[in-house]
Every structure is written in C-alpha cells, then in structure tokens.
C-alpha cells in the first residue's frame, strides 16, 4: 500500500505545526487508499548540516541523519506541513531536506502551509526544492492564515473550504505517489 509521511516542518517551542499535522492526519485516516503517518522533525534532533561529504556524493552523516534518511526512504510521498518565517522556509525543514538526496526522488509531495500570509513564501521555496530533488509536487496547496484559521492566532480552527482543499490535495498526493511507483521500482532495480 502507498505510504505517505506528514512532515511537521518546524521544531521550535510553541509551534502550531502539530495541530495542523493532526488535522491533516485525521482527514487522511478516513481514507483507505494509502497509509499515513505523522513525522515530527523535532524527534530527530538533526544537527545543523555539517557533513564533509554531502548525501548527493554518498555521505551518510551521523546516527540522527541516518535515522532521518531511513524514515524518508520508507515513504512513497509526503505532505509537508510548513510554517513561514519571514516569508521563508523554516531553517529546520530546509536543514532536514539537505540531509537526504536520493530518498526524495520520484515521490509525490503536497504542501500545507500556514502563516500571516498563508505560508505562500515558504511553499514557493519548497516547490523549488522539490523540483531540484526530483520530488513531484502536486498542483494546488492548502494555505492557512493565522488571522482566519487560528483562534487568537494560537488554536487551529480551519473552515470547511480548507477541509475540501485538503481532501483534493490528498487525492493528488496519493494518485501521484502511486503513479510514480514503477519509476521508483525501476530505479531501485537498476541500483541492485
């Protein structure tokens, strides 16, 4: 069965990501076409990327990086739950992406962003990274605004229209991850 990781892209104290990822997971759990799991970057305790040999050149990093790479490898696709800091991708998410190279390729990705402007700056940077890594980002995204989708800017309270947008996003991520399965299988067979 297709496996999709829901990645919480922030590690800071007081972050809103776990609330949003829980909402994504609750919607995903009603589906029978894939398995979904929340992946919290904070649990990996990745150091700032400091590897002498980057993953693209065969570097594997320390135990935290190896555990992270194995986690990425286990999924066929991802839903990135990303905040926006200063109209940018969070450093923790960019750092985690940098620790893996081939593990992202030929998989599908959807983006659920949040922030003062809906996280659109972060999402745009994430789409650029997806293209560079061979990660197929699906069209559309779910943009959540702090002023309208969070009570008192702290408690997640999305509208029904956001739930419909999320269902459409999940449809695309599962379909694309499934469609790319033969490509991943062929790549794995050529390496073996």
Tell whether the torsion through CA atoms of 39, 40, 45 and 48 is positive or negative.
positive
Closest CA to 76 of 150, 155, 180, 152: 180
> What per-residue confidence (pLDDT) applies to 80?
98
Tens of pLDDT, residues 106-155? 999 999 999 999 999 999 999 999 999 999 999 989 999 999 999 998 99
The vertex-131 CA angle with 95 and 86, nearest 5°, equals 50
Closest CA to 126 of 55, 189, 115: 115
Share of the chain above pLDDT 70, in %: 99
Identify the weakest region by mean pLDDT among 54-63, 150-159, 175-184.
54-63
pTM: 0.95
> What per-residue confidence (pLDDT) applies to 192?
62
Q: Could you list the residue range(s) of the whole structural domain that residue 160 is in?
A: 3-191
- Does the pLDDT value for residue 83 go beyond 90? yes
Closest CA to 140 of 115, 172, 108: 172
Cβ burial of 9 (10 Å; 0-12, 13-18, 19+) is: buried
- Does the pLDDT value for residue 67 go beyond 70? yes
Q: Are 57 and 6 in contact (CB under 8 A)?
A: no
Q: What is the CATH number of the domain that holds 63?
A: 3.40.50.360
The structural domain count of the chain equals 1
């Amino acid at each position: 069965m297709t496996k999709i990781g829901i990645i919480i892209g922030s590690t800071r104290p007081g972050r809103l990501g776990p609330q949003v990822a829980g909402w994504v997971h609750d919607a995903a759990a009603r589906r029978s076409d894939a398995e979904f799991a929340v992946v919290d970057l904070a649990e990996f305790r990745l150091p700032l990327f400091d590897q002498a040999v980057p993953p693209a050149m065969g570097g594997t990093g320390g135990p935290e990086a190896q555990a992270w790479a194995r986690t990425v490898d286990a999924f066929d696709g991802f839903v990135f739950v990303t905040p926006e800091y200063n109209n940018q991708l969070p450093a923790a998410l960019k750092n985690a992406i940098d620790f893996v190279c081939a593990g992202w390729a030929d998989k599908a990705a959807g983006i659920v962003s949040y922030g003062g402007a809906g996280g659109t700056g972060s999402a745009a940077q994430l789409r650029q990274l997806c293209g560079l890594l061979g990660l197929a980002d699906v069209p559309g995204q779910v943009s959540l605004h702090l002023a309208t989708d969070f009570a008192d800017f702290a408690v997640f309270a999305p509208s029904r229209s956001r739930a419909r947008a999320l269902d459409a996003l999940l449809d695309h991520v599962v379909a694309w991850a499934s469609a790319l399965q033969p490509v991943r299988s062929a790549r794995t067979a050529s390496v073996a």
